Amino acid sequence: MHSVSEDDFALRFREIHPPLAPQAALEEANRCLYCFDAPCAAACPTHIDVPRFIKKIATGNLRGSALAILEANILGSSCARVCPVDVLCEGACVLVRSHQKPIEIGRLQRHAMDHFYATGASLNFQPGASKAPRIACVGAGPASLACAAELRRAGFGVTIFDSRPLGGGLNTYGVAEYKLTPSDSLREVELIRSLGAEFRFGTSVGDDVSLDELEKDYAAIFLAVGLGPTEALGIPGQDLEGVVDALTFIADYKTERTIRVGRKVVVIGGGNTAIDAANAARRLGAEEVQLLYRRGEREMPAFLFEYEHSKLEGVRFRFQTQPVAICAAAGSSIAVGAVECVRMELGAPDASGRRRPEPVAGSNFKIECDMAIAAIGQSRLLQFLEKTRGVERKAGNVVTDAETGRTANPRYYAGGDCVNGGREVVDAVAAGKRAGAAMVRWLEASHG
Amino acid sequence: MADLSTVFAGSIRCPNPFWLASGPPANCGEQVMRAFDAGWGGAVWKTLGEPIVNVSSRYSSVDWNRQRMMGLNNIELITDRPLDVNLREISEVKKRYPRHAVIASLMVESRREAWHQIVRQAEDAGADGLELNFGCPHGMSERGMGSAVGQVPEYAEMITGWVKEAARTPVLVKLTPNISDIRMVARAAKRGGADGLSAINTINSITGIDLDTLTPRPDVGGRSSHGGYCGPAVKPIALHMIQQIAADAEARLPISGIGGISTWQDAAEFILLGSGTLQVCTAAMHYGFRIIEDLIDGLSNWMDSKGFRTLDDVRGLSLARVVEWKNLDLNYKIVARIDPEKCIGCDLCYTACWDGAHQCIHLDRTEASPNGHRTPAQVEAQSARRIAITPIAKLDGDRLAGSRPVTPLARIPRVDEEECVGCNLCALVCPVDGCITMAQIDTGRAFESWEQRAAASGKGEHC
pLDDT tens digits for range A214-264? 999 999 999 999 999 999 999 999 999 999 999 999 999 998 866 789 999
Q: What ipTM was assigned to the predicted interfaces of this complex?
A: 0.92
Cα–Cα distance for residue pair B38/B22, rounded to 1 Å? 18
Task: Report pLDDT for B394.
Answer: 72
Would you call B345 and A97 a contact, using CB atoms and an 8 Å cutoff? Answer: yes
Give the minimum alpha-carbon distance from A376 to chain B in angstroms, rounded to a whole number: 11
Q: Does B351 touch chain A (CB under 8 A)?
A: yes
Chain A residues with CB inside 8 Å of B344's CB? Answer: 94-95, 97-98
Domains and CATH numbers, chain A: 16-118 (1.10.1060.10), 131-228+379-447 (3.50.50.60), 243-374 (3.50.50.60)
Cα–Cα distance for residue pair A64/A56, rounded to 1 Å? 7
Task: Report pLDDT for A132.
Answer: 85
Chain B residues with CB inside 8 Å of A84's CB? Answer: 390, 402
Task: Indicate which of A36, A49, A101 best probes the interface with B, i.e. most B CBs within 10 Å of its own CB.
Answer: A36
Cα–Cα distance for residue pair A356/A245, rounded to 1 Å? 25
Which of A27, A33, A302 minimises the CB distance to B66? A27
Which of A47, A87, A298 minimises the CB distance to B384? A47
Q: Of A119-133, B99-113, B162-176, give the lowest mean pLDDT range.
A: A119-133
Would you call B387 and A37 a contact, using CB atoms and an 8 Å cutoff? Answer: no
User: E strand or H helix at A290, and its extent?
Assistant: strand A288-292
Instruction: Please answer whether residues A390 and A355 qualify as being in contact, where contact means their C-beta atoms are separated by less than 8 angstroms.
Output: no
Task: Report pLDDT for B461.
Answer: 53
Instruction: Please answer whether residues A177 and A16 qualify as being in contact, where contact means their C-beta atoms are separated by less than 8 angstroms.
Output: no
> Span B327-387+405-457: which CATH code?
3.30.70.20
Which of B344, B346, B388 minimises the CB distance to A43? B388
Q: Does A52 touch chain B (CB under 8 A)?
A: no
Q: Give CA separation, B281 vs B45, B195, B202, B289, B333, in Å.
A: 11, 23, 11, 10, 40
Average pLDDT over residues B48-73: 95
Q: What burial letters (b/e) apply to A248-279, b meaning 16+ CB within 10 Å?
A: bbbbebbeeeebbbbebbbbbbbbbbbbbbbb
Q: Is beta strand B67-74 parallel, antiparallel or unpaired with respect to B227-230?
A: antiparallel
Q: Does A26 touch chain B (CB under 8 A)?
A: yes
Calculate helix-pair angle for A142-153, A425-447, nearest 10 degrees. Answer: 30
User: E strand or H helix at B255, and its extent?
Assistant: strand B255-258
Which of A84, A98, A420 minimises the CB distance to B432? A98
pLDDT digits (tens, 9 = 90+) for A320-337: 999 999 999 998 889 999
Tell me the count of A-B CB pairs closer than 8 A. 109
Nearest Cα residue to B43 out of B108, B107, B89, B109: B89
Whether residue B178 has pLDDT greater than 60: yes
Chain A residues with CB inside 8 Å of B388's CB? Answer: 42-45, 47, 430
pLDDT digits (tens, 9 = 90+) for B298-314: 999 999 999 999 999 99
Whether residue B399 has pLDDT greater than 50: no
How large a percentage of chain A has pLDDT more than 90?
Answer: 88
Q: Of A348-352, B8-12, B51-55, B101-105, give the lowest mean pLDDT range.
A: A348-352
Which of B345, B394, B398 minimises the CB distance to A39? B345
B136 is catalytic: yes
pLDDT digits (tens, 9 = 90+) for B86-96: 999 999 999 99
Task: Report pLDDT for B398.
Answer: 55
Q: Does B318 touch chain A (CB under 8 A)?
A: no
Q: Does B402 touch chain A (CB under 8 A)?
A: yes
Chain B residues with CB inside 8 Å of A142's CB? Answer: none
Report residue B43: phi and psi, to 5°: -150, 140
Per CATH, domain B6-321 is 3.40.720.10: no
Q: Is beta strand B42-48 parallel, antiparallel or unpaired with respect to B196-199?
A: unpaired
Q: Does B409 touch chain A (CB under 8 A)?
A: no
Domain residues of chain B, as ranges? 6-321, 327-387+405-457
Task: Report pLDDT for B143.
Answer: 87
Cα–Cα distance for residue pair A410/A407, rounded to 1 Å? 6
Residue A304's closest chain B neighbor by CA?
Answer: B399
The C-alpha angle with vertex B225 and arms to B224 and B229, in degrees rounded to 5, equals: 115
B14, B136, B343, B435: which one is catalytic? B136
Q: Does A30 touch chain B (CB under 8 A)?
A: yes
Residue B352's closest chain A neighbor by CA?
Answer: A36
Q: Does B392 touch chain A (CB under 8 A)?
A: yes
Whether residue B401 has pLDDT greater than 90: no
Q: Is omega for the bond preceding B200 within 30 degrees of 0, making it cis?
A: yes
Would you call A88 and B402 a contact, using CB atoms and an 8 Å cutoff? Answer: yes
Chain B residues with CB inside 8 Å of A417's CB? Answer: none
pTM as predicted: 0.93
Query: Helices H, strands E: what count in chain B?
Result: 16, 18
The C-alpha angle with vertex A373 and arms to A340 and A324, in degrees rounded to 5, equals: 25
Chain B residues with CB inside 8 Å of A88's CB? Answer: 390, 402
Question: Would B6-321 and B327-387+405-457 be classified into the same CATH topology?
Answer: no
Average pLDDT, chain A: 95
Q: Is beta strand B333-338 parallel, antiparallel or unpaired with respect to B275-280?
A: unpaired
Average pLDDT over residues B387-407: 73
Would you call A37 and B380 a contact, using CB atoms and an 8 Å cutoff? Answer: yes
- B462: Cα within 13 Å, side-chain hemisphere: 7
